[in-house]
Structure 1
């Protein structure tokens, strides 16, 4: 029987009953395998951020004055765009599970909704870590030269991981709301759009004044400013605290909403 239909939970009769943690580990393995087999989505999530970075650097970078090499300025924004692409796949895979009958099989094995959703989120984190590594690799090849210390790199990793977790859980909630994978795929449009009215690709001050308020106070901007400041060794001000507040708030709301929506869909 395929991984899509039924996870392998076989164990000796004398073994202890499977715990929620065991279920979560099995679901993580299942979702990672499914991600690996979905070649089209995997290649899109891995290659599209790199293509966009090359597009901005080589076609638009010469016309944009950021006070530094444009590749240095744009990498943090591409990293968040990369995380958005990777997380949007989570909405599609969650909706697919909810509509193909596999959830009933999981429930017959006494696998809870928390384990199922955690598997999808963990797979999103793995996809994003691979994609972010590729973006960094290509960025170094085309001239990205950060001045971050070891502690700065750890802070960058923590900030990106927190953001990935938050957007992955909100994607899972969207997947529970959507009634078809196609509808869930629409979430990728929102995720792709949100970094543009921020400081991801151009300074906020260069935008029309009527958009300054939104660009400065949406969740993407403080995360980008935090990552950029840490990588370049420039002052970050209150951006880290704002970034953490946004991510923790989104994460808490998304986890609660996912639990409620899963119970409603499976009632």
Structure 2
């Protein structure tokens, strides 16, 4: 047993790396989904900042109305980054649904490939794409005037937090893609995730919302995600937001993994 376990573990890792390489190559050959993931948040960013930013920024606590647009850009940028991450779940759901409906996953099941590695390759590939998308959207934000004040440690922590959130959201996206019966359905399910930053503290402080919506906004996972990213970008106190963000990321990862593997195993038995 002790001699087999390391070999089995090495087999799983090598299979996952192979699946990761496959998914990254597919993303390069078919860049449409990745471009949409980046362009969507960029359009939202430019719209809310240059059309609504002056008014919305002037309403933020302690902000000089004359600098409302710049203040709102600093406030909304973390929410835009989380929308970017949430949007990558659509790509994960669509790619895994394509593999399921086109029979590629069924072919993998007949080969000597670790079952967990097949899905892990999708997740890791989508996580890498999410990090690239976040970096590009953040770059656009800086081009239009966003000026983060994070220090080296905050930047390092930010990369770690965004990676963990992207990993967790990718597992949820994979579960949605596995659950979907068609590719079209798979593209619709993750839209729920893209709404959560809007229904959190991504665009306005939660205390400005109606009481019933405020309760949801404060306790859903994307609010601590956004507040953690915001604190790291601005070098302000994290408080409990980091703990809540890490906890929610672990919960989403576990739920997505269990959900995805359960569907995969069930369809493997049927196959």
1:36 and 1:229 map into 2 onto residues whose CA distance is 33
Deviations 1:138-184 (A, max 9, x none): 11111111111111111111111111111100111111111111111
Q: Which of 102, 108, 111 is matched with 1:109 structurally?
A: 111
2:170 and 2:39 map into 1 onto residues whose CA distance is 19
Question: What residue in structure 1 maps to residue 35 of structure 2?
Answer: 43
Which is further off, 193-202 or 39-48?
39-48
Conserved 8 A contact 1:88-1:191 = no
Runs of 4+ in structure 1 deviating by more than 4 angstroms, as ranges, are none
Question: What residue in structure 2 maps to residue 231 of structure 1?
Answer: 233
SS in 1 for 2:238: coil
Question: What residue in structure 2 maps to residue 21 of structure 1?
Answer: 13
Shift of 1:66: 2.3
Question: What residue in structure 1 maps to residue 248 of structure 2?
Answer: 246
1:188 and 1:47 map into 2 onto residues whose CA distance is 17
Conserved 8 A contact 1:85-1:191 = yes
Unpaired runs of 5+ in structure 1?
1-15
Q: Which of 130, 133, 137 is matched with 2:132 structurally?
A: 130
2:128 and 2:247 map into 1 onto residues whose CA distance is 23
Higher helix proportion: 2
Q: Which of 142, 149, 152 is matched with 1:150 structurally?
A: 152
Give the number of equivalent residue pairs.
252
Verify: 1:61 aligned to 2:53, yes or no. Answer: yes
Conserved 8 A contact 1:199-1:215 = yes
Name the TM-score, length of structure 2 as normaliser: 0.89
Conserved 8 A contact 2:173-2:190 = no
1:176 and 1:222 map into 2 onto residues whose CA distance is 27
1:42 and 1:237 map into 2 onto residues whose CA distance is 34
Deviations 1:103-125 (A, max 9, x none): 23212321122111111111111
Which is further off, 65-74 or 21-30?
65-74
Question: What residue in structure 1 maps to residue 218 of structure 2?
Answer: 216
2:106 and 2:245 map into 1 onto residues whose CA distance is 38
SS in 2 for 1:167: helix
Unpaired runs of 5+ in structure 2?
1-6, 64-70
Which is further off, 98-107 or 83-92?
98-107
Question: What residue in structure 1 maps to residue 209 of structure 2?
Answer: 207
Name the TM-score, length of structure 1 as normaliser: 0.90
Alignment of 1:65-76 (within 5 A): 65-67=59-61, 69-76=71-78
